[in-house]
Structure 1
Amino acid sequence: MCREHGGHHHKGSCRCGGVQTGRFLQPCLLLLLHRHSTHGYELMQSLDEFGFMDSEIDPGTVYRHLRKLEEEGLVNSSWDTEKGGPAKRLYKLTAEGEELLHAWAVTIKSNIQRLEKFLTKYHAQFNTLEERG
């Protein structure tokens, strides 16, 4: 059994798939940047607001997502040298990034509805309201 998700392992990997955190980082980063422009390190610290644990967040992954978002014109960055110490990249959401953020919200809502339907049928079929785990 997968300790994290309750699924069965196959050749050392979780067969239930778990949550695809990599892709979900994008809307989380966009929403955080909509709140205010900030640095990558501060973004990583704020991801716990979405249920990410520190052990799940690889700084390299976060910075790769930020670079990809910037390449796509969804985020801008500039060097921040005002606070003393080493210069840091300051990330800011663009208008295109805000549009994508709204599209993500629609997609996430649709996915929630599908997942709720699945759980309703699952619980009815197994006559349980308890979460397995």
Structure 2
Amino acid sequence: DLGMSEADRAENIRRVGEVARLFAEAGIIVITAFISPFRKDRDAVRALFDDDAFIEVHVDTPLDVCEQRDPKGLYQKAREGKIKDFTGIDSPYEPPLHGELVLKTMEDDEQSLISKIIRQML
């Protein structure tokens, strides 16, 4: 029942955060992957967890690369005005100021993503 508006995106991330919190409280390790463009929404979810129980991962990829990798053509539709409030096109993306893990996808291209994760966590 949610769209791409700022309010809908905030509600989506709030729901994800609440469900993740419930699983974490049950002792389950939770990994989620969402486009969460607004810092305030990510910070609100972070506040649901103990300090050491939330790790924010920012997959830092340039917009032009996101567009090249888009198998559904959503960026093109957004540029044509067919999709409104699309992150990076007519809606902003606010990168984390202090993400625990930042993966710059266009650097050290010969290394796998897993290698990058392991190196940054050591």
Shorter-chain TM-score tier: under 0.3
**Could you tell me the TM-score, scaled by structure 1's length?**
0.25
In terms of fraction of residues, the more strand-rich structure is: 1
**TM score, norm. by length of structure 2:** 0.26
Bigger fraction of residues in helix: 1
Which is greater in Rg?
Answer: 1
Of structures 1 and 2, the one with the larger relative CO (CA 8 A, separation 6+) is 2
